[in-house]
Amino acid sequence: MSDGATDAPAAGAATRPQRPEPAPRRPEPVEGRAADTRHQIAAARRVVVKVGSSSLTSPDGRLDLDRVARLVDALAGVRQQGREVVLVSSGAIAAGLAPLGLRRRPRDLATQQAAAAVGQGLLVEQYMQRFARHRITVGQVLLTVEDVTVQSKYRNAYRTAAKLLELGVLPIVNENDTVATKEIRFGDNDRLAALVAHLVHAEALVLLSDVPALYTAHPETPGAERVRDVVDVGALTGIDISRRGSAVGTGGMVTKLEAARIATSAGIPALLGAADDAAAALAGQDVGTAFAATGRRRPTRLLWLAHVSDAQGSLVLDAGAVQAVTQRKASLLPAGITDVHGSFTAGEPVDLVGPDGAVVARGLVSYDAADLPQMIGQRTGDLVEERGAEYARVVVHRDALVVL
């Protein structure tokens, strides 16, 4: 049976350790590990702080300048300790609602992008004015998915952020909503913040919102208890995470937990807390919910593929190709594909599915969906001979693939 893959090693390619799923369990405080996590956050020399729209706006959806000022004061205090801060700030769309006469966050992408175009400048202007009172210069950094998944753009984004920090500038990061497409975007700033933490080699991630912590039930439910510490995000059970985001934001508890999973799986401790507790959270005090780091660094594009991307289709693999992709970390070739589902274009994420229907991996496909059916099961050499040299490329390269 053809394995439909190539074994040629790629320099620097990451591998995902194969280990059994942990048994589901309710999170319990682990005092030593918890203290270590909060100490790591307090000692972090470079920290990414994410603040949500609901923490920056008043009930009517307008920017609350007092809230902005309190956040700035807290972050300025951290800077005065000699620590570096990168701020991932939501609020651009929310800031643009009032000038456009909108009462609620629009649902369609075009209006969201228009609101972001109006609001981004207003938001950054407020930050500039308030940080200037602390003699801190800020710089705006707008990112798209390609900036953290395409190697050349990733390197440029890192160099820019590193130079800003070297110059003493506090970067303010947001997704470039005005040009992001519906199919390929971060979608929320929680997960963007986790990827930025990885991008800038941060030592901690702090997620600030209108919810002071993770709770065993909705915070307003009688008997709901704060979860102080989480050792393994993937093992969370018995926790109500149904709370949705506010009317001016996109994030909810689900996206915050996913952000914590992304960060901790890359070796970065994280903390979820209230914006009003920003200073205490960054000082390692007993506020919010702390998430212990569980993994180590891996390429950011693989983190995005595994945790953020939405598959635009799927490729069904034979058993040999599944083994080659998951165990030998090989690239996928046409010979190992048995079926194609969905409508996608080259460069978009697709799921790789085994004969039993289970998703085994996700990767960036090198061909349009329309091109693949006539390539199914064929050897690459035969395709090159029949169709030309452009068919020499693999279907999914091992460096753009993550095993799930």
Query: Residues 32-53: pLDDT tens digits?
Result: 455 699 999 999 999 999 999 8
Residue 99 and residue 114 in one domain: yes
**145-149, 344-348, 350-354, 371-375: segment of lowest average pLDDT:** 145-149
| pLDDT average, residue stretch 279-290 | 96
Q: Answer whether residue 249 shows pLDDT above 60.
A: no
Which tokens in the block code for residue 123?
A: 């938001």
Binding residues, by number, are 50, 90, 177, 189, 209-210, 250-256
- Measured on CA atoms in the order 315, 316, 320, 325, is the torsion positive or negative? positive
Residue 71 placed within a domain: yes
Percent of the chain with pLDDT over 90: 57
- 186 assigned to some structural domain: yes
pLDDT of the residue at 219: 80
Q: Under DSSP, is residue 239 helix (H, G, I), strand (E, B) or coil?
A: coil
Q: What is the CATH number of the domain that holds 361?
A: 2.30.130.10
Which of 247, 266, 298 is the C-terminal boundary of a domain? 298
Structure confidence by residue, pLDDT tens digits, 47-98 = 999 999 889 988 877 788 999 999 999 999 999 999 999 999 988 888 888 8
Q: Is residue 294 located within the same domain as residue 354?
A: no
Give yes or no: residues 292 and 197 share one domain.
yes
Q: Tell me, what's the pLDDT at 139?
A: 97
Same structural domain, 132 and 39? yes
Q: Same domain, yes or no, for 124 and 253?
A: yes
The residue ranges of DSSP E strands in 161-219, in sequence order, are 170-175, 204-209, 214-215
Residue 126 pLDDT > 60: yes
Q: Is the pLDDT assigned to residue 273 strictly greater than 60?
A: yes
Q: Are residues 75 and 197 in the same domain?
A: yes
Same structural domain for residues 133 and 236?
A: yes
397/273 same-domain check: no
Return the top range by mean pLDDT from 93-97, 142-146, 181-185: 93-97
Q: Is residue 231 part of a domain?
A: yes
Residue range of the domain that includes 379: 5-15+304-403
pLDDT winner (highest mean) among 18-27, 29-38, 184-193, 243-252 = 184-193
pLDDT value at residue 185: 56
Same structural domain, 9 and 42? no
Pull the structure tokens for residue 39. Answer: 């100490």
Structural domain includes residue 20: no
CATH of the domain at 97: 3.40.1160.10
pLDDT digits (tens, 9 = 90+) for 10-22: 323 333 333 333 3
Q: Does 191 have pLDDT greater than 50?
A: yes
Residue 353 has pLDDT above 70, yes or no: yes
Q: What is the 3-state secondary structure (H, E, C) of 79-109?
A: HHCCCEEEEEECCHHHHHHCCCCCCCCCCCH
Going by pLDDT thresholds of 50, 70 and 90, the confidence category of residue 180 is: low
Q: Is residue 27 part of a domain?
A: no
Q: Are 144 and 178 in contact (CB under 8 A)?
A: no
Look at residues 105, 256, 146, 115 and name the one whose alpha carbon lies nearest to residue 191: 256
**Residue 174 belongs to a domain:** yes
Q: Is residue 359 part of a domain?
A: yes
One domain for residues 80 and 121: yes
Note whether 212 and 274 are same-domain residues: yes
Q: Are residues 308 and 294 in the same domain?
A: no
pLDDT cut 70: percent of the chain above it: 83
Q: What is the mean pLDDT of residues 330-336?
A: 96
pLDDT of 163 higher than 90: yes
Residue 177 has pLDDT above 70, yes or no: no
The residues with which 332 forms a beta bridge, in sequence order, are: 5, 396
Task: Name the binding residues for ATP.
Answer: 50, 209-210, 250-256
Number of domains in the chain: 2
Summarised one tens digit per residue, pLDDT across range 252-270 is 788 899 899 989 988 999 9
Check the CA dihedral 252-258-261-263 and report its sign: negative
* Residue 26 forms part of a structural domain: no
φ, ψ dihedrals at 293, nearest 5°: -70, 135
Residues making up the annotated binding site for substrate are: 90, 177, 189
Q: Of 271, 298, 325, which one is at a domain's C-terminal end? A: 298
Domain boundary among the residues 298, 315, 344 is at 298
